[in-house]
Structure 1
Amino acid sequence: MKYAILLAALALGGCGASGLTPAPGKELPVAPYGAKARPTPAQLLTPSNQARPDRSDELLTQSQDRRSDEFSLPPQ
């Protein structure tokens, strides 16, 4: 049983090693509006900075009380 699971994991792991190409008879998506060229599969698979923002490691160095919010009023 363990060997079957290991073999299945290895087989599935090898599936991602092949290059990605469109299915036969299909094309890549059209170029975005204003783009000069159609994006390649590698460009389509690379997330943008907006999709994966950089991590900020800035630590809070001082604890400060918040100011009162004059606009946070209870409902009337």
Structure 2
Amino acid sequence: MASARTTVLLVTAATLALSACGNRRELMPVAAAGLPPAPYGRETKPTADDLLKPPVQAKPQRSVELRSRSQPREDDPFDLPPEQ
């Protein structure tokens, strides 16, 4: 009974380990469908790798340094009361 349980656990572990392995290769569109047309104003079509790169606006760099301790706020010249 103990050896059958060990065998089942080993087979399960091996199956999980092999299922985690993936075949890494260049992405290609489905045979029936092609890549999207070239954007307006561009003569060449982007490749699959170009389409997978996120634009800079999707991942902006942080340019603000976080404050480590509280500081009094500076006067904001645009913080005006509402006009009536």
TM-score (norm 1): 0.67
Q: Choose the corresponding residue for 1:43, options 47, 50, 56.
A: 50
Question: Is the partner of 2:58 in helix, strand or coil?
Answer: coil
Max Rg structure: 2
TM-score (norm 2): 0.62
* Divergent runs of 4+, >2 A: 59-62, 64-72
How many residues get paired? 69
Q: 1:65 maps to which residue?
A: 73
Q: Which has the higher helix share?
A: 2
**Alignment gaps of 5+ in structure 2:** 1-11
**Alignment gaps of 5+ in structure 1:** none
Matches within 5 A, 1:1-76: 1-10=12-21, 14-15=22-23, 17-56=24-63, 58-60=65-67, 63-65=71-73, 67=75, 69-71=79-81
Over aligned residues, Cα RMSD in angstroms?
2.7
